[in-house]
């Protein structure tokens, strides 16, 4: 059964704090793990994707995957008011040549960074 | 390079009316997808296509039909709209390892 669990929040933190966003998934066949950011009334924007267990860093953002516990995380350092948005985790099973039959999303966490 | 575009941006329909949503991508991607997003439900896959001329059902396909006659376009049709189809519809395309989303179509069925 495809399922990704994510706390919808809202999560409110002061500017400059480290933010931790988390998801769990149930299907061990999931291979790729993504984080999308969605501003109000906009389409989801891909932030990061990872394939293997471990950490991947991009500027202030770090994505972490633990396949043994089926747990994925996104950390935001030095959070800014402009980071206020809904963050969606997603996962899929990729074809051998790339592509997939669609992403399975968590419900999204609404993040508020207070100035 | 416009990425993924969707037409129209907003639409209000009466129950029983039909309409077609158009998605276009200029990235030469093989894979295209239609999702709907509802409060408290997240994004759910309606239909998808793995190449020109192909379509497949996703998680919530009932009440929708799709066509992929050209590689760059993916159409989503509602033959007889119902209030339960009030939602925000997102199209996405995938070139192999990343899905890019359009800006969405906000549909209200009264």
Nearest CA in chain A to B10: A41
User: Closest Cα of chain A to B78: distance in Å?
Assistant: 20
pLDDT in tens, B62-105: 999 999 999 999 999 999 999 999 999 999 999 877 899 999 99
Q: What is the mean pLDDT of residues B1-25?
A: 95
Does residue B1 register a pLDDT over 90?
A: no
**Residue % of chain B over a pLDDT of 90:** 90
- How far is Cα A79 from Cα A113, in angstroms, rounded to an integer? 7
- pLDDT category of residue B40 using cuts at 50, 70 and 90: confident
Q: Residue A97 has what pLDDT?
A: 67
Q: Residue A74 has what pLDDT?
A: 97
Give the residue carrying structure tokens 């030095």.
A78
Closest by Cα among B74, B63, B60, B65 to B30? B74
Per residue of chain A (115 residues), what is the pLDDT tens digit? 458 999 988 999 999 999 999 999 998 888 889 999 999 999 999 999 888 788 999 999 999 999 999 999 999 999 999 999 999 999 988 776 667 788 999 999 999 999 9
Q: Identify from B4, B43, B74, B90 which residue to disrupt to test chain A contact, counting A C-beta atoms within 10 A and taking the largest count.
A: B43
Does residue B2 register a pLDDT over 80?
A: no
Closest by Cα among A108, A115, A112 to A45? A108
Give the residue carrying structure tokens 């925000």.
B88
Residue, of B2 and A111, whose pLDDT is higher:
A111
Does residue B106 register a pLDDT over 60?
A: yes
Inter-chain touch B97–A106, beta carbons under 8 Å: no
CA of A22: how far to CAs of A9, A66, A114, B11, B105, in Å? 11, 11, 20, 35, 28
On whether the CB atoms of residues A62 and A56 are closer than 8 A, the answer is yes
Does residue B41 register a pLDDT over 90?
A: no
Q: With contacts defined as CB-CB under 8 Å, which chain B residues touch A94? A: 97
Q: Residue A52 has what pLDDT?
A: 78
Nearest CA in chain B to A1: B59
Inter-chain touch B50–A102, beta carbons under 8 Å: no
Strand pairing partners for B73?
B24
């Amino acid at each position: 059964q495809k399922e990704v669990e994510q706390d919808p929040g809202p999560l409110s933190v002061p500017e400059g704090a480290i933010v931790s966003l988390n998801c769990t998934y149930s299907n061990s066949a999931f291979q790729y793990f993504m984080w999308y950011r969605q501003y109000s009334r906009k389409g989801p924007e891909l932030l990061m994707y990872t394939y293997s267990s471990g950490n991947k860093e991009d500027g202030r953002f770090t994505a972490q995957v633990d396949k043994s516990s089926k747990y994925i995380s996104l950390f935001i350092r030095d959070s800014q008011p402009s980071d206020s948005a809904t963050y969606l985790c997603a996962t899929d099973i990729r074809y051998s040549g790339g592509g997939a039959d669609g992403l399975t999303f968590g419900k999204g966490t609404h993040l508020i960074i207070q100035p | 390079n416009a990425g993924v575009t969707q037409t129209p941006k907003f639409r209000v329909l009466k129950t029983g009316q039909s309409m077609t949503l158009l998605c276009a991508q200029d990235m030469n991607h093989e894979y295209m997808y239609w999702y709907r997003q509802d409060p408290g439900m997240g994004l759910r896959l309606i239909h998808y296509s793995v190449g020109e001329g192909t379509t497949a059902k996703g998680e919530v396909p009932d009440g929708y039909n799709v066509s992929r006659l050209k590689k760059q376009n993916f159409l989503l049709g509602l033959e007889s709209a119902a209030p339960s189809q009030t939602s925000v519809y997102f199209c996405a395309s995938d070139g192999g390892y990343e899905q890019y989303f359009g800006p969405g179509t906000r549909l209200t069925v009264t």
